[in-house]
Structure 1
């Protein structure tokens, strides 16, 4: 498939994991891809697999004021337009909320919330011109609570509601806004967790599809939402979670007969 030939896509947080996998998928489908992370060298490693003529690297932190305007301006200068924003950059943390320090709280809200706000706001004028779309990375943690992750859950809950509100506000302008909501995905961010057999078994007990997600699983959902195939879909927070959110949390009664 070449659904994005001639289209231009910004992927924030694209140096690894879901961002990297999705940037590669957009490129495979013909897009001009703008890579972003706080470390240019990490993006350069990703760019080695891409066509230089159709790739731009913009180093920077999405939470810094002015960066979102810069990446959009440089994108349009290089490729002439912007068709898709995949606002993916984010961080995670866990632990007792009463023990979270101010710096951790500030960092989480700056990157996961402010970064999304800035990117969406400053991409909108260009997306309005092209009838483009935004896909944000939220989480199943933005759809329901998690033990020991109050701060992360709060940040992703904000993204979930941002997507819904922007879809309502910008639909008349021809701009669609959606989110993907992954659960456990094998990335650098979750490295080491899969070595915890007890934790992995707990996930397997909840997953309808009995394996963790790979970045390609999320990339497939993102590119669908960005494509014309999803042209009448907006305001959706799409769980890409192997069925975890399909459960109401009760145990599998079949195991106790």
Structure 2
């Protein structure tokens, strides 16, 4: 039986790479986005369409449309859509910029989860949220983006517990800096010191592996991607808060660090 996966923000970057990998692995894939960038699709197993993740009604319409194309059901939904800006909170940000990140990165995941629930509970499906290593500790010069990824961390952890009785798995994927269009023109102390070392394909393979992971065995909720993110995540699990703060500041900021 063909498995089906719906990917938001799938026209380019990590979403596109994930769609291509899963299509190659035999999945029926729904690639939905706000932008029109589907000229790379040449497979009957990949279905495309419009989705504004900040609008719950287009979520409902897009999922219903894809379910019909996929034979009546959806096995996995990947909340991939996201945006960012880099730079100091007061100098580069604004009320509008901050609100836009919350609309896409937080509301988009909330709306996606709520709209996906009826489809996932019917077949004991899976929700995969694309978070970030910036959910480990607040990241200077990406303060709002980091805050939105903390929100995704919280949503993932809460729903993993809430939906367990429904047979729905919930997990998140945590890349560090990846060479996608989101980072075009973005340079911070963190990108300079740590480098932009992940490719969309590397992150996509990790996402695809989480999508295909055996259900609830073993239970892993968060999946850091790449050596740097894995090391940072493990360090945060076993270090006191003051040490996490110090390490994060040294890696992501040029500002003096006070212990």
Tell me the TM-score normalised to structure 2 length. 0.83
Distance of 1:14 and 1:136 partners within structure 2: 13
Name the structure 1 match of 2:228. 243
* Structure 2 stretches lacking a partner, 5+ long: 236-243, 252-259
Q: Is the 8 A contact 1:213 1:242 kept in 2?
A: no
Name the structure 2 match of 1:78. 69
Name the structure 2 match of 1:91. 83
Distance of 1:65 and 1:228 partners within structure 2: 28
How far 1:237 moved relative to its partner?
1.7
Are 2:99 and 1:106 aligned? Answer: yes
Q: Is the 8 A contact 2:56 2:112 kept in 1?
A: no
Name the structure 2 match of 1:130. 123
How far 1:166 moved relative to its partner?
0.3
Distance of 1:175 and 1:61 partners within structure 2: 24
Name the structure 1 match of 2:161. 168
Q: For the aligned residues, what is the CA RMSD? A: 2.4
Q: Is the 8 A contact 2:9 2:82 kept in 1?
A: yes
Name the structure 1 match of 2:51. 60
Residues 112-163 of structure 1 show CA distances to partners (whole Å, capped at 9, x for unaligned) of: 0001001111111111111110111100111211112211111110000000
For residue 39 of structure 1, the aligned residue among 30, 35, 38 is: 35
Name the structure 1 match of 2:18. 22
Name the structure 1 match of 2:193. 202
Which secondary structure does the structure 2 equivalent of 1:47 belong to? coil
For residue 177 of structure 1, the aligned residue among 170, 191, 202 is: 170
Q: Is the 8 A contact 1:135 1:178 kept in 2?
A: yes
Distance of 1:243 and 1:38 partners within structure 2: 31
Which secondary structure does the structure 1 equivalent of 2:50 belong to? coil
Distance of 1:152 and 1:243 partners within structure 2: 19
For residue 186 of structure 1, the aligned residue among 167, 179, 192 is: 179
* Structure 1 stretches lacking a partner, 5+ long: 205-210, 253-257
Q: Is the 8 A contact 1:177 1:234 kept in 2?
A: no
How far 1:168 moved relative to its partner?
0.2
Corresponding residue pairs, total = 235
Distance of 2:7 and 2:217 partners within structure 1: 22
CA separation of 1:84 and 1:233: change in aligned 2, threshold 3 A: farther
Distance of 2:8 and 2:206 partners within structure 1: 16
Distance of 1:191 and 1:242 partners within structure 2: 23
Are 2:209 and 1:217 aligned? Answer: no
Q: Is the 8 A contact 1:7 1:83 kept in 2?
A: yes
Distance of 2:154 and 2:191 partners within structure 1: 30
How far 1:228 moved relative to its partner?
4.2
Tell me the TM-score normalised to structure 1 length. 0.83
